[in-house]
Chains A and B, each alone.
Chain A
Amino acid sequence: MEFNVNSPILFVVAGFAVAVVLAQSICFLIKAWRRARDLGMDMKKLGRTARTAAIFTIAPAAAIVISVITLSKDLGVPLPWLRLSVVGNLSYETIAATNAESAMGLTFGQVSSLTAQQYVTIAAVMTVSILIGIWLVPLIGERLLNGMITLENRDKKWGEIFSASMFIGMISAFIGYVFCDFSGIFRGDLSGLIPVCVMTVSALVMTALGLASKRKGLRVLADYALPVSLIAGMASAVPFTAWLG
């Protein structure tokens, strides 16, 4: 059989794996939904949570689609489709593909055609490199989460501060990242200000929507505050880039 990176059989192979992962998401969703009903949770509120999650996902998912398109120039559609639907993200997958290609004397972004052997090698490197999280969660996930329960049983207030601190620690790292090119302004390069301006716009929109949602009749704004702020921030990047880029 002649090899082609977009061969229908590769779509079938990738599609099967993606279908299994989709089935896992559906099973976990049904299981959690049933448990919520058994616990007597507010199902309308949960419906809103699900709707907000779906709407919020659209913009990042569009970015993931762009990643698939970027990788597909070298690898065809099926492999990037699989890698970015399961486990991966753009930076990981690009580095893995680049390393695998360069190990065989190829240059990422400049590959016109791959042989079946090269394709299998790249797919194997990308797969083996990224699987650690899938294996580790079943091995240590329960122990980690039971540790959190023990912590909270010992001291409830510290348990809550512990959780909040983890979230803040993670968010502070990403806020720091937004400023990673900031020092360029001292050399006259203003492009490092673009992410800072985008973050500021997003934060301001979130604040405005949060305050507005406290007013009577505008409660619904709280449900859509994050997706709207995300889109507003991303949209502001276009003029900021034209101005500072």
Chain B
Amino acid sequence: MRQESAYLRSVHREGRIWNISVAVILLLVPVAVALIYRTMPDWHGFALGLLATAPMYWAVGAIETVTYVPMLGAGGSYLSFVTGNISNLKLPVALNALEQAGVSINSEEGEIVSTIAIAVSSIVTTLIILGVVLITPLTPLLNAPALAPAFAQILPALFGALGVVFISKNWKIAVAPVLLMLVLFIAIPALNAGTVGIMVPVGVLFTLGVSRILYKRGIL
């Protein structure tokens, strides 16, 4: 019977320390700016801005945590929830690495592969942003109108490639959720780029339900 390994326990211990430290440092950024410039926030604006933003983010953030952690593994989760850009970068990177290595995220090898892929991706992203924004002024090139359509279509390009790999391997599982999501996204105008994050847990729960039925009936 597999149990949580000493390695995994140490990842959780260190992950907690890192994430809580980063959270505190991030909270201290506006405080530091306020101290440097001897000012205070506009509390009225802060309350209104927070009221308009936080409830949705906190709800989505809580759902994302429950949904993405089992897919990212321990090390991958601590890193991804600190470095952000999960669905458009960290999760695809981890999925591709696991697929390439032929290991499951539930194994220790999978945990290691996911962590390495996400850590490398985070480092490269940070260095690219640092290099392009702060050192090399590539702004005109990246802002070129000719390239705008390419950057606007990054998610379709990403999930076209990922989809073909995972759906071809698990087509029995994929048929129902893909059809459901197609119907929902085509029929309901409110479902768009802004709401796709909310639909991820819906898709996951629906797929789990369908898979359970298929598994119990001996189809999977």
Count CB-based A-B contacts (< 8 Å): 553
* A–B complex contacts, Cβ < 8 Å, 15 sampled: A13-B33, A24-B82, A29-B120, A52-B97, A66-B151, A85-B125, A89-B85, A89-B86, A125-B53, A145-B73, A152-B106, A165-B173, A194-B153, A203-B163, A237-B149
Chain A 186-208 interface residues, beta-carbon cutoff 8 Å to B? 194-196, 198-203, 205-207
Interface size classification for chain A: 35 or more
Interface string of B114-154 (1 = CB under 8 A from A): 01111111111110111011100011001100110111111
| CB neighbours of B158 from chain A (8 A) | 60, 174, 202, 230, 233
Which A-B residue pairs are the 9 nearest by beta carbons? A233-B157, A176-B181, A202-B160, A169-B204, A132-B61, A199-B160, A169-B207, A103-B48, A241-B149
When C-beta atoms are compared, the residue in chain B nearest to A153 turns out to be B1
| CB neighbours of A218 from chain B (8 A) | none
Interface string of B149-176 (1 = CB under 8 A from A): 1111111111111111111011001100
* A46 contacts partner chain B, Cβ-Cβ < 8 Å: yes
Task: Identify B29's interface contact among A82, A144, A205, CB under 8 A.
Answer: A82
| CB neighbours of B150 from chain A (8 A) | 234-235, 237-238
Most buried by B among A14, A127, A177: A177
* A111 contacts partner chain B, Cβ-Cβ < 8 Å: no
Given known A-B contacts A1-B36, A125-B50, A170 and B196 have beta carbons under 8 A apart: no
Q: How far is the CB of A153 from chain B (nearest CB, A)?
A: 5
Cβ B178 vs Cβ A172 within 8 A: yes
Task: Identify B206's interface contact among A122, A142, A169, CB under 8 A.
Answer: A169
When C-beta atoms are compared, the residue in chain B nearest to A123 turns out to be B30
Q: Is the interface of B mostly helix, strand, loop or mixed?
A: helix
Chain B 30-83 interface residues, beta-carbon cutoff 8 Å to A? 30, 32-34, 36-37, 39-42, 44-50, 52-54, 57-58, 61-62, 64-67, 69-71, 73-75, 77-79, 81-83
Number of interface residues of B (CB under 8 A): 160
Given known A-B contacts A24-B82, A49-B116, A172 and B126 have beta carbons under 8 A apart: no
Q: How far is the CB of A194 from chain B (nearest CB, A)?
A: 7
Q: How far is the CB of B45 from chain A (nearest CB, A)?
A: 4
Task: Identify A163's interface contact among B34, B78, B104, B138, CB under 8 A.
Answer: B104
Given known A-B contacts A117-B42, A136-B61, A206 and B22 have beta carbons under 8 A apart: no
| CB neighbours of A122 from chain B (8 A) | 49
Interface string of B1-16 (1 = CB under 8 A from A): 1111001101110111
Other than A164-B166, A165-B204, give 12 A-B pairs with Cβ distance below 8 A: A1-B37, A45-B101, A64-B85, A69-B139, A84-B129, A86-B84, A99-B53, A167-B166, A176-B185, A180-B193, A237-B153, A238-B147
